Structure 1
């Protein structure tokens, strides 16, 4: 009887021929890496830290994406509370993403000698595993790199950032889950503290932890008020800008420095009407302390004053539960037209703001009027409002 197992699937485990001896030079030679820290236990500890940071970053990133661009079934269910919800989740997204950068570097340093292992692939299955790791590492590095440059508002690439960042997040997370499944037995063996510690491991892990802590403390102040005095490396420092508020898109960039003298707010609904600035000021005025929280990770609270959007909709005869479309004066831009779901439109804290901290809005902050709503991304807090349309 033939002792060879039948079937093509078993042949995937057949060893590949070894490489020629003359190729085993430099980092490919036996014993090229002497550090005892290139070992599984160190990799598992760093992997736990990195995995936690990436999980937080991924989940908060999904939150941001669905608040900015909700699918149809979700748009009507978006909550307008808690007031600081988006400020918290997006701040945590950027904090965890920045923390993941030194953790990724340390993790890759620990395992990079495996890049030079011979043979490169022992079997076809091993080759597929290494290919999946290559895709995971490439997606993760590109995700962190583009995310970091987004905090600087620098986009030196031809592809759209937000959509690419979203799908890279799914690719990196899927690759990570696959990698964890493949390496589960190895991770389980080295999950607990070993009996014989490796020389230098404790110091190395403490150094990595200190680096992550330093990066976090010197950047998180752009969204965590009590860390603001340590905000040394963050690209934005809340408190700087017109009216003490940072500005992402200025009136000059939007082409709204000069507002037409005949500006009127147009409210379209069953009973449409128009109001000039003086008439808006004569309506009942309300104030709310709300944050501006931007996707780049910075946020700051201010006292906004103006007219409730719900009051404008009631005057226009909008049915209960109506969403609205907001159109800006700016000629073009990805957020020139935005939609305000019904839960936000009905919230008494959602204002058509005319003032900030007791002063008339500056051109950069949206003069003559802007939208300010709780638990909403800053890019959707439309400035230079020209029209409110009942949907």
Structure 2
């Protein structure tokens, strides 16, 4: 039963993780790690619709990944005698199986440990999380595929050999050990049962449900938000218009109030000549209000109401008819995301804004004052704050 659950759920966690890599824009060199040779999904420009697509992707990747932790541990516990067989290898076929098992178990435990530390912003492992997590995923994928090929027939045969409903009705007193076979998992002289199979499934399922309650609120919001007590960005931050999660403060980014004062100008490039605009001039342009999420790679998200100038209106203002992509530069000091490149489909969406306000008030400095990018459906880290310039790159 544990294997059947993992057979369905682990591919979801894996695929959503790989899609997150695509969402960062590998054709612009923005995904981490950058050079993965042929170990990647086909490149495509990440869509903006539905606007919650990345929120769903990362909610599934992180949330489901955490929910599966009790099930993974229970699955490993159920087959633990296999790890200590002696001699460990009896044939070439078994040697291949043991190698795949090492990749499977080592890979899934590595992904769980580094993933949990990452969402807690605890990088005690001393290496790049993104690089290690990506390559670790492919090690796990190799082990998983090999293990599925070998073990699915065993799983199907075992599930068919016993009625699930009959097992669910069994009490502890009626619980008998499995018939001995060549798996080596049944004790030679088993002691009387202390828990039924129903009880074991309930214990593990209850643990998974408990983790889900502690996790889901970071993505769904609502009344479950207050239950996300284990996640640093998962709880409510109050009712104020700017009082919601901040992933990177202005102090951490090296942006000061002096830089965003009256002397701030937005520079638009790509037309016949650069165009500079003050915040007052931007406010004088037609304003659009949309409700969009910020969805972080760590799994948390928040939905707010943003007001600002459509990015395609800024493109028209600089006199550019069509673009292949656009580069946004931030006032943030040099780092991985002080420059972000967006494909044309993201910049031309009708809800893509240079946001000047949130929830009816001006942005706070920590949320990107004087202006930030808000585009539907993309990773939150690309919703660039403290925008300094936009360069429209023509086809």
TM-score by length of structure 2 reads 0.83
Q: Of residues 197, 206, 209 in structure 2, which corresponds to 1:210?
A: 206
Alignment of 1:156-171 (within 5 A): 156-171=124-139
The answer to whether 1:111 aligns with 2:79 is: yes
Name the counterpart of 1:80.
48
**Which of these two proteins has the greater Rg computed from alpha carbons?**
1
Measured against aligned partners, the alpha-carbon deviations of 1:242-283 in whole angstroms (never above 9, x if no partner) come to 712101110000000324242210110123200111221111
Measured against aligned partners, the alpha-carbon deviations of 1:271-319 in whole angstroms (never above 9, x if no partner) come to 3200111221111111111011111111111110111110001111223
Measured against aligned partners, the alpha-carbon deviations of 1:88-136 in whole angstroms (never above 9, x if no partner) come to 1111111111012111110110001112222211123312321221122
Deviates more, 1:74-83 or 1:46-55: 74-83
Name the counterpart of 1:304.
306
Distance 2:211 2:376 in 1: 29
Name the counterpart of 2:6.
50
Q: Of residues 320, 343, 347 in structure 2, which corresponds to 1:318?
A: 320
Long gaps (5+) in structure 2: 29-40, 168-174, 177-195
Long gaps (5+) in structure 1: 1-44
SS of corresponding position for 2:324: coil
Are the equivalent residues in 1 in contact too, given 2:103–2:142 (CA < 8 A)? no
> Structure 1 residues 353 and 74 mapped into 2: Cα distance closer, same or farther (>3 Å)?
farther
Distance 2:350 2:44 in 1: 17
SS of corresponding position for 1:93: helix
Name the counterpart of 1:269.
270
Name the counterpart of 1:180.
148
Alignment of 1:349-388 (within 5 A): 349-388=351-390
Are the equivalent residues in 2 in contact too, given 1:133–1:175 (CA < 8 A)? yes
How many residues align? The count is: 347
**1:206 positional shift:** 1.1
Deviates more, 1:71-80 or 1:51-60: 71-80
Are the equivalent residues in 2 in contact too, given 1:76–1:341 (CA < 8 A)? no
Measured against aligned partners, the alpha-carbon deviations of 1:214-264 in whole angstroms (never above 9, x if no partner) come to 110121101112432433333323531771210111000000032424221
SS of corresponding position for 1:365: coil
Are the equivalent residues in 1 in contact too, given 2:219–2:301 (CA < 8 A)? yes
Distance 1:318 1:171 in 2: 46
Are the equivalent residues in 1 in contact too, given 2:371–2:387 (CA < 8 A)? yes
SS of corresponding position for 1:302: strand
Name the counterpart of 1:240.
237
SS of corresponding position for 1:236: coil
Are the equivalent residues in 1 in contact too, given 2:340–2:382 (CA < 8 A)? yes
Distance 1:180 1:255 in 2: 49
Distance 1:238 1:118 in 2: 49
Q: Of residues 33, 41, 61 in structure 1, which corresponds to 2:17?
A: 61
Name the counterpart of 1:249.
248
Runs of 4+ aligned residues of structure 1 deviating over 6 Å after TM superposition are 72-76
Q: Of residues 218, 240, 251 in structure 2, which corresponds to 1:222?
A: 218
SS of corresponding position for 2:369: coil
Are the equivalent residues in 2 in contact too, given 1:220–1:234 (CA < 8 A)? no
Alignment of 1:114-129 (within 5 A): 114-129=82-97
The answer to whether 1:147 aligns with 2:149 is: no
SS of corresponding position for 1:307: strand
